[in-house]
Structure 1
Amino acid sequence: MIGAIIVFSGVILDYLKGSGVITIRYEMTMPAVALYLLLQLIAIAKDFAEGRMELIRLNQSLDEEVALQTKQLKEKNEQLEALVWQDGLTGIANRRYFNEMVANQFDHAKQQQQKWSLIMIDIDEFKQYNDYYGHVAGDQLLKVFVDIINKILPPNVLFARYGGEEFVLITQDDQAMSLAEELRQRIEHANLEHLGRDLKRVTASFGVVTYTNEETVEELLHKADENLYMAKRSGRNRVYAS
């Protein structure tokens, strides 16, 4: 608008000069046009700069949105991955994850000729606990039971829920028997009430097996299960190994 006024003024001045009304030394139309063009260039440059800044802001906003979406997607993937291997009640590894890890451990041990141990754990007379207190209380007991064990487990020990009230440990430590006995004592000394049985408190039985030259994972698991059965048959609240 200003440029147009300047050009119009220059034209008027040149007209008045040509009519002899005013006397000026220079032609005004061309400088006015040049000034108009300069103002137009400045306006275009300003608009371009503002547009560029807006584009930068949009790109930054887009980058932030992409980063946020990527972070949220990563979190969801991690949550889904956790659901695949995590026991929903206790938060420890589930049987599916255990089966994968025990197979890997077994193959590695066979190749490297390493010893490692399995510890199977079963809460004694858990059915009677559920019958006496109800399944909600039974679920709570499982959580407390897991917490007791988790607090004293050494590093690099896989702790998984095998099914129901049965749990399993994989340890590369050759002190599996002493670990199982420590866990048994901790559970017994926690004095968790169990009025549905004669002993009146919660205990657990343990079956321990150390890999030597078993041919298959199933054979090793079967031995651990047999040892757990022997611990229960011997009166429960026992650690049995062969």
Structure 2
Amino acid sequence: MTLRLGSLPAQLVSVPSTVTLKYAKTLMVQYQFSQIAVIDEDGTYHGAVSWESIGRAHIASSDPSLRDVITPALVVDHDAILLDQIRAIYDKGFVFVRDADRVRVTGILTAADLTGQFGELARPFVLIEEAENRLRRAADEVFSVADLREAVQDRRRNRVHRAADLTFGDYGFLLKDPQRWSALEWNLDHDLFLRRLEDVRKIRNELMHFTPDPLSDEHYRIVDGLLNLLRTVDPRP
């Protein structure tokens, strides 16, 4: 269940130590790489070439070779825990990832990759959190504590003092009552809103159980749909 490096790195593009520096730079420009691994055909790993190492070499020499720009780079096993490597990736800009055989270097994980991956991982949580915060604000502004307590089971009622004490699923029970729905003065179809709220509740439960599968486009459409409704009836940030 722990997120490890082997599930994230991109396939590695490398150059052998026998090519020219011009060849390596051309490949880096072609693929828009900030760095590239130097690995011979027999698997011998030499290090990395980066635009920083190239710049330093050109200051030190008027005509540097590929060997002059190769620098050491961190190589991490594929099963290393991702969270343990974030500081190194942030500081160095990238790490190379060693295959399951613990010999071949076959992957790379850059700070840009990490940003993109965490963006995808965090996005559904952020969207659902906004929906929940908007529901919470509306409930606190409109309903009494007695109303809020009516939305939960008897054993929990004494622990409810504000909307923050409700679970996401409680809002469906809270708003199911026609009188409480009318109190919101939302010009939305009641049944349709409740169905969308229930759909998002189920998606949220899947996320909270840390399903390994990313949200589908359909699930994103459902979550975005609820948010669009909530932002429309209350455009405040």
Report the TM range for the smaller structure's normalisation: under 0.3
TM-score by length of 1: 0.21
Asked which structure has the greater RCO (Cα within 8 Å, sep 6+), the reply is: 1
